[in-house]
Amino acid sequence: MIPVIFGLSGPTLTADEASLFRQADPLGYILFGRNCVDRDQMRALTESLRDLSGRADLPILIDQEGGRVSRMQPPVWPAFPAPSAFAALYDRAPSSAIAAARANAQALGMMLAEVGVTVDALPLLDVAQPHMTGAIGDRSFGADPMQVAALGRATLEGLAAAGVVGIVKHMPGHGRATVDSHHELPRVSADAAALEQDLAPFVTLANAPMAMTAHVVFTAWDADRPATLSPTVIRDIIRGRIGFDGLLMTDDIDMKALTGAPADKAAAAIAAGCDVVLDCWARFDEMAAIAERLDPIAPASRARLDRAMAAIGTHSGVPMAELVDTRDRLLALA
């Protein structure tokens, strides 16, 4: 197994993809809208990926946050609210917001589990700031670290109740970035004392099973490299100050915040201390180059993966319709 999560080009595996994946044995896969047609198609696709890998606990990821970041779309699948809806309710009724976020995440997780998806790239723990980039925007749970942590914890608990693993992101925090890391490299000049606010939700949820890095330079910690590629940030801040010992993956290495050839970026992220690289765009030549470049997964990273995936497939049995009704009744209080 090599420490990379690959995207797929379409609703079924191509022959070339199947051949490459069989030989390379990537850690997992991530699905996008191009891979999500209907329930039967998605179940067939995820089953084909499990059959190819021979692993029942294969990580199959998706970005299904609710709101504008939703790969599985109506009318085939129901729409889910953006995280900001729970932040708005928290301002009036914190306990109701927490219950609504938990019910929402459990219902969302049930929708994913039904089609064989095992990991959701949710929740964001990015603390909102006044000049935060719109790339985060309504995806944030708010500006108060305690609120962000409480709603993030409820989301992780809801996903777990559906047998799905959550990913906290974007560690160590994307809230102060004023530009979109999809398009350029953000630089945050806040001092270490101010950054404690950004770290707080991640510290509270340091036992999360998985986390995703931020492609952001924090000059207080490493003025030369974004967190994803910084041994200092990963060792001293993510593993040290935050105390996170779960599976740490990069954000998509094809984002324009990072420069260079994909295989070089992948190798640099692993060398910096990330457990696994996320490569989303299913460009065959790039995937082949990454597969050629990366060594087998490190034993410590494999142990983190196994811990993270240990609880998939178990669920509480509460009907999805009941969870959605609970969520909607609570959100109406806002």
Enter the tokens of residue 257.
């915040």
| Residue of 144, 182, 254, 315 marked catalytic | 182
Nearest to 170 by CA among 122, 224, 106, 137: 122
Catalytic residue among 120, 126, 138, 251: 251
Distance in angstroms (rounded) separating the CA atoms of residues 91 and 142: 10
Both structure tokens of 277: 């690289």
Backbone CA torsion sign across 182, 185, 189, 193: positive
- Please choose, from the candidates 122, 159, 104, the residue with its C-alpha nearest in 3D space to the C-alpha of residue 316: 159
Question: Is 182 assigned a catalytic role?
Answer: yes
Q: What span, in angstroms and rounded, lies between the C-alpha atoms of 311 and 160?
A: 7
How far apart CA 268 and CA 101 sit, in angstroms, is 36
Question: Is 158 exposed, middle or buried, given 0-12, 13-18 or 19+ CB atoms closer than 10 A?
Answer: buried
Lookup: tokens for 306:
């196994």
Contacts 24+ apart (CB under 8 A), 326-332: 326/99, 326/100, 326/103, 327/81, 327/100, 327/103, 327/104, 327/107, 330/89, 330/93, 330/96, 330/97, 330/99, 330/100, 330/103, 331/81, 331/85, 331/86, 331/89, 331/100
Contact between 228 and 215 (Cβ < 8 Å)? yes
Concerning whether 251 is annotated as a catalytic residue, the answer is yes
d(CA 11, CA 31): 9
Residues identified as active-site: 182, 251
